[in-house]
Amino acid sequence: MAKGAAMIGPRMATMLAFLLTDAPIGYEQLHLVLSEAVEHSFNCLSVEGHTSTNDTVLILSSGAGREPALDGADLAAFAVAVVSACESLAQMMADDGEGATHFITIDVEGCDSREEARTIARSIADSALVKTAIHGADPNWGRIVSAAGYAGVPFAEEEVSLWINETCVYRKGAPTEFDTAWLSANLRANRDVHLRLTLERGGGKIRFWTCDLTAEYVRLNADYTT
Amino acid sequence: MAKGAAMIGPRMATMLAFLLTDAPIGYEQLHLVLSEAVEHSFNCLSVEGHTSTNDTVLILSSGAGREPALDGADLAAFAVAVVSACESLAQMMADDGEGATHFITIDVEGCDSREEARTIARSIADSALVKTAIHGADPNWGRIVSAAGYAGVPFAEEEVSLWINETCVYRKGAPTEFDTAWLSANLRANRDVHLRLTLERGGGKIRFWTCDLTAEYVRLNADYTT
């Protein structure tokens, strides 16, 4: 179970998530499993990048005291299940972002480290210009590549390639000759958008989720007084 | 002269600024004077925080070779004039932000350094939730203080006070009993908004400019294909 919608830029955010299990697993291992799951799910999520003051992810096990406790292959399978549940919740929160008309998955690959990939992905996800371009079904490679460029990770243009919904729009530092009208129609027709940006330096990669920025988001956040 | 409107998060941005003078001043001194002016003007500006790939500030002097070159009090007065011109241009760019209905001046004071103050000011300026709150005339101290909180500068709540249009809404870590209806009406009636956030640790401060986030901004950036 998770509550999201906005003020979402978890490290964490105004995000309340509760996971329940009856697995026989104690505090220390449950903490390790959940920390790893959060790292691959809630911390790969942004609605508008505004980190909140009261994020919470809890996992409760009714089987905590039961013997024998999970170990070996069972513990590994449990950890995979928790990662999967958290990823699913994080994806639903981005998809449910205030006013969203597109759910955006961002893969950043080929970086020196996972943190480097996250920094680039977050910069793309938090760009109002990227988010409005996708809202407008505009396959605007310039806004995406420039958001990667100002993320704070030094790289050369020639290292960068970019795909929008599996169409390569930018290859090794230069735009390709893609069919913009077709890709725009594709973006307009699909709620799900996939951005994939690659560098060419290593195995560091991340999958990150966000949504587009719409007039409805502005209305929802301007038209009430707290 | 300057061109701005959006993709503005200068360090620099899609911002072209040209300054002309007939002062008798050579390259090195003009460069120093302009660098100092940029630091106090264009680098204290954000529309939506999207740094661009082609920022330019040029200053041209038709008097570069003339003798005697400016020095002493004349050079100081010239430097003050360049800072003033750049500040004025930077303010006009924020005020002219795409779709803007409010021009926002953010003073952050009492920090350890000017860079610390800039980091906090930029975080507030770039928050979609702060920008939509001001668009909706909502004196929402929580969004402003939390944006300061996630800027990456560690501080305690008790150090923070906040004024919106000279009304203290948050003092030393707690909201005040201000007249929200009056302050909301005041925000609705005035295009100019002044936020002042203070810490209590030193003399580091900055003045930073931005604008609000409106449905018109979204429309302008979603409804055209580049």
Contact B140 A226 (CB under 8 A): yes
- What pLDDT does B138 receive? 94
- The structure's pTM equals 0.78
- What pLDDT does A47 receive? 63
Instruction: Determine the 3-state secondary structure of A194 from DSSP.
Output: strand
Distance (Å) from the C-alpha of residue B218 to the closest C-alpha of chain A?
6
Contact B135 A218 (CB under 8 A): yes
* Residue A184 at interface with chain B, using a CB cutoff of 8 Å: yes
* Closest-CA residue of chain B to A221: B132
Q: Is residue A14 annotated as a catalytic residue, yes or no? A: yes
Residue A9's pLDDT band (cuts 50, 70, 90): low
* Residue A186 at interface with chain B, using a CB cutoff of 8 Å: no
* Residue among B138, B140, B226 whose CB faces A142 most closely: B226
* Residue A222 at interface with chain B, using a CB cutoff of 8 Å: yes
Check whether A24 has a pLDDT greater than 90: no
For residue range A96-144, what is the model confidence (pLDDT) as tens digits?
888 899 999 999 999 999 999 999 998 999 899 899 999 999 999 999 9
Structure tokens at A5: 């919608």
Chain B residues inside the 8 Å CB shell of A140: 225-226
* Residue among B52, B129, B225 whose CB faces A221 most closely: B129
> What is the CA angle A8-A14-A20, rounded to 5?
110
Non-local (6+) Cβ contacts of B185 within 8 A are B137
Contact A217 B150 (CB under 8 A): no
Distance (Å) from the C-alpha of residue A127 to the closest C-alpha of chain B?
6
Contact criterion met (CB below 8 Å) for A58 and A17: yes
* Residue among B48, B132, B136 whose CB faces A129 most closely: B48
Give the Cα separation of B225 and B165 in Å (integer): 38
Give the Cα separation of B42 and B120 in Å (integer): 17
Give the Cα separation of B157 and A75 in Å (integer): 41
* Residue among A127, A150, A184 whose CB faces B225 most closely: A184
- What pLDDT does B13 receive? 45
Report the percentage of chain A scoring pLDDT > 90.
46
Helix (H) or strand (E) holding B125: helix B114-125
Non-local (6+) Cβ contacts of B53 within 8 A are A142, A146, A149, B14
Contact B150 A50 (CB under 8 A): yes
- Read off the pLDDT of each residue in A34-38 and give the average, rounded to a whole number: 79
Contact B135 A222 (CB under 8 A): yes
Q: What is the ipTM of this complex?
A: 0.71
* Residue among B137, B146, B213 whose CB faces A218 most closely: B213
> What is the CA angle A216-A221-A222, rounded to 5?
95
Mean pLDDT, chain A, rounded, equals 86
For residue range A169-210, what is the model confidence (pLDDT) as tens digits?
999 999 999 999 999 999 999 999 999 999 999 999 999 999
* Residue B8 at interface with chain A, using a CB cutoff of 8 Å: no
Residue-wise burial string across B167-189, b where 16 or more C-beta atoms lie within 10 A, e elsewhere = bebbeeeeeeebebeebbebbee
Measured CA to CA in angstroms, residue B154 lies from A112, B112, B116, B195 at distances of 28, 11, 10, 20
Distance (Å) from the C-alpha of residue B174 to the closest C-alpha of chain A?
14
Half-sphere exposure of A17 (CA within 13 A, CB side): 27
Mean pLDDT per 10-residue segment, chain B (226 residues):
56 65 81 80 68 73 82 88 85 86 95 93 91 94 92 94 97 96 96 97 92 90 72
- Read off the pLDDT of each residue in A7-14 and give the average, rounded to a whole number: 50
The torsion angles phi and psi of A225, rounded to 5 degrees, stand at -110, 130
Contact B136 A225 (CB under 8 A): yes
Catalytic site residue from B14, B21, B210, B214: B14
- What pLDDT does A2 receive? 59
Contact A138 B214 (CB under 8 A): no
* Residue B182 at interface with chain A, using a CB cutoff of 8 Å: no
